[in-house]
Amino acid sequence: MDSFQIETAQNVSIHQNVASVSSRIGAYLLDGVIIVGYYIIVIWIFNALDLSLGIDEWVVYLLLGLPVFFYSLLFEVLMNGQTPGKYASKIRVVKLDGSKPTFGSYLLRWILRIIDIDLATGSVAILTILLNGKGQRLGDLAAGTTVITEKKRVSIQHTLIEDIPENYSPTFPQVTMLSDTDIQTIKELYRVARRKGNHGVIIKLHDKIIDITDIKTELRPIEFVDIVIKDYNYYTQQ
C-alpha cells in the first residue's frame, strides 16, 4: 500500500494511505453490480406493468437512466467522497491535504471519468494511478484529489507493545494510573517528537505525566518519558 506525506501551512504532517488499484477496481465492480441490479428492477417493473414502448415510455426510461448517469457524482457528494462500492471497500475521495473536496472537485473528476474509465475501459486510469504515486487518475490530478483507504495499517510502533529486556526492572509503579489510551498517545507523540527533535513536546509530555501520576523525578524529560512507556508495558504484560 503506497503512502505519501504532505506538510500543511501550519507545518502539520499529514500521512495519506493511498487506496490500492485492486480496492478501487473492486469498488468499481460493486458499483457496477448495483447499477445492473437497478436496471433489472426497472425492466421487471415495466414488464410487470405490460407497458408498451411509446414515446412517453422512452421519456420515462431516459429519466430513470439519469441516476445511473450521475451515479458516482451523486453518491460522492452525498456520502462524503464515497459511493456504495467505495464504502464497502473502505476507500474515500479526499483532497490532497486530507480535507473534504468541494462540489467543483467532485464534478471535475466525474467529467474526466469519461476519458479515464469509460472511453479507455479503465486503462488510462490504472496507468496514471500506478505512475503517479499518490493514487491519482487524470480526474484526480485535475481536481486536486486522491482516493485513500480507511483501513488502518497497524505496526508495532502504533501499538502499546514496547520491546523491553527480560531482566527489566521498573522504576515508577505509579504509571499504572495511566490508561492504555494515555500511553498510546504518549508513545506516538514521543516517537514523532524524538524523530523531529521537538524537545518542547517531550517537556509537555513530561509535565502531563507528572501531573497525572504525581511522580517525583530528577530525570531529564526525554529519559523520563521513555522509562514511563517501558514501565507501563512491563506492568501490563505481567
Most confident by average pLDDT, 52-61, 70-79, 182-191, 209-218: 70-79
Q: Give the three cell numbers for residue 138.
A: 487524470
- Average pLDDT of the segment spanning 76-87: 94
- Tell me the mean pLDDT in the region 113-141: 88
Number of residues that this document lists for the chain: 238
Cell of 214: 504525581
**What DSSP string describes 119-171?**
ITTTHHHHHHHHHHSSS--HHHHHHTEEEEE-SPP--GGGSS-----TT---S
Query: What is the reported pLDDT for 133?
Result: 78
Count of Cβ atoms closer than 10 Å to residue 168 Cβ? 14
Cell of 78: 452525498
CA–CA distances in Å: residue 15 to residues 57, 127, 196, 221:
51, 23, 15, 27
Average pLDDT over residues 156-160: 47
pLDDT at 124 over 80: yes
pLDDT at 38 over 80: yes
6-10, 81-85, 198-202: segment of lowest average pLDDT: 6-10
pLDDT above 80 for 53: no
Short-list 33, 94, 27, CA closest to 68: 33
Helix or strand run (H / E) with residue 13: strand 13-17
The answer to whether residue 134 scores a pLDDT higher than 50 is yes
Residue 35 pLDDT greater than 70, yes or no = yes
More confident call, 152 vs 151: 151
Q: Predicted confidence band at 34 (pLDDT cuts at 50, 70, 90)?
A: very high
- The pLDDT of 182-186, averaged and rounded, is 86
Q: Return the pLDDT at 157.
A: 45
Q: pLDDT > 70: what percent of the chain?
A: 84
Cell triple for residue 209?
Answer: 505525566
- pLDDT classification of 84: cutoffs 50, 70, 90: very high
Instruction: Check pLDDT > 50 for residue 142.
Output: yes
Residue 102 has pLDDT above 60, yes or no: yes
> Is there a contact between 124 and 116 (Cβ–Cβ < 8 Å)?
yes
Task: Enumerate residues 6+ apart whose C-beta is below 8 A from 50.
Answer: none
Q: What is the mean pLDDT of the segment spanning 27-42?
A: 94
List the grid coordinates of 154.
Answer: 497497524
User: Does 237 score more than 80 pLDDT?
Assistant: no
HEC string of 47-98 equals HHHCCCCCHHHHHHHHHHHHHHHCHHHHHHHHCCCCCHHHHHHCEEEEECCC
Mean pLDDT rounded to a whole number for the chain? 83
